[in-house]
Amino acid sequence: MPEHAQILPGTLDLLILKAVSLGPLYGYGILLRIEQISHGALLIEQGALYPALFRLVRQGLLKAHWDTSENNRRTKFYELTTAGRKRLRQEEDGWNRLVAAIASTLKAQPEEI
């Protein structure tokens, strides 16, 4: 089992958007997909997922509809809106820039100063 990493505050929205961008999902499915694509490295407090989902719906980044799932149960599915897709791109860029900046900072050697 790989070591768990606590997710940074504010990054949960990004993870949800990313997970949903790969195809419509229901709540528990989103959790599973994040675990799956992070190879179990990211640990999410499960309940915290839902307030975030409701918030994203209200912001118009996700839309939700009720449908029947593969095991024939009424389930609420989430998918990305156009605004959500745009926001995901922005957040990805922002994240990458941040990571690059921090990484280069951490790589700094004494002689570079």
Partner 1 sequence: MRVVGSLRSVVSALFHRSRIDKEMEEELRAHIQDRANDLERSGVPRAEAGRRARLEFGGYQKFKEECREAQGTHFLETLIQDLRFGLRMLRKSPGFTAIAVLTLALGIGANTAIFTMTNGLMLHTLPVRDPGQLVELLHHYPGEPEPGFNGFSWDAYQTIRDGNHVFSDLIDGTMNFFTVRGDKLQPQTVFGGGVGGTFFQALGVRAAAGRLIGPEDVHMGYHAPVAVVSWSFWKSRFDLDPGVIGKKIVVGDAPATIVGVAQRGFYGLSYEAQQDIWWPISLGPSPGWGFGLLARLKPGVSLEQARAEMAVVFQTVVNAPDADPFVRRMKLRIEPAGNGVTTPLSQMLSTPLMVLMATVGLLLLLACANLAGLLLARGASRQHEMAVRACLGAPRARLLRQTLTESLLLSLVGCAVGIFVAYFAAHALIRVFASGRFIMGAPVHFEALTNPDAHVLLFTLAIALLTGLLCGAAPAMSASKTEPASALQQASRIGESKSRRLFGKGLVASQVALSLVLMSSAGLFVKYLSHLRNLNLGFERNNLLLVTLDFAHSGYDAAQFSRLSQELVMRLDAIPGVSSATFSSVSPMEGPGASSFAFAEDDPERRTQASINYIAPDYFETYGTPFLAGRDFSARDQAGSPVAIINETTARDCFGNENPIGRHITLSHITLTKGERTYEVVGLVRDAKYNDLQQAAPPTIYPDLLQQGFIGSQLAIRTRIDPSGVASAVRQTEAAVLKTVPIARIMTMNEQIDSSIVPQRLIAMLSAGFGALGALIAAIGLYGLLAYTVARRTHEIGVRMALGAAGTDVMRIVLRGALRMVCAGLAIGAPLAFCGKRVAASLIPDLPVAGPLPIVVSVAIMIAVGLIAAYLPARRAMRVDPMVALRYE
For partner 1 (CB under 8 A), the number of binding residues is 22
Binding to partner 1, residues 31-90 (CB under 8 A): 31, 45-52, 54-55, 57-58, 60, 66, 73-76
4 near partner 1, rule: CB under 8 A: no
CB of 77 vs partner 1, minimal distance in Å: 11
Q: Give whichever of 39 and 58 is closer to partner 1, judged by the CB atom.
A: 58
Query: What distance in Å separates the CA atoms of residue 95 and residue 11, rounded to the nearest whole number?
Result: 9
C-alpha dihedral (10, 13, 18, 24), degrees to nearest 10: 170
Q: Give whichever of 27 and 95 is closer to partner 1, judged by the CB atom.
A: 27
Query: What distance in Å separates the CA atoms of residue 31 and residue 60, rounded to the nearest whole number?
Result: 21
CB of 58 vs partner 1, minimal distance in Å: 5
**How many CA atoms, within 13 angstroms, populate the side-chain half-sphere of residue 100?**
6
Residue with tokens 């190879």: 39
Residues 74, 82 contacting (CB under 8 angstroms): no
Residues within the interface to partner 1 (CB under 8 A): 26-28, 31, 45-52, 54-55, 57-58, 60, 66, 73-76
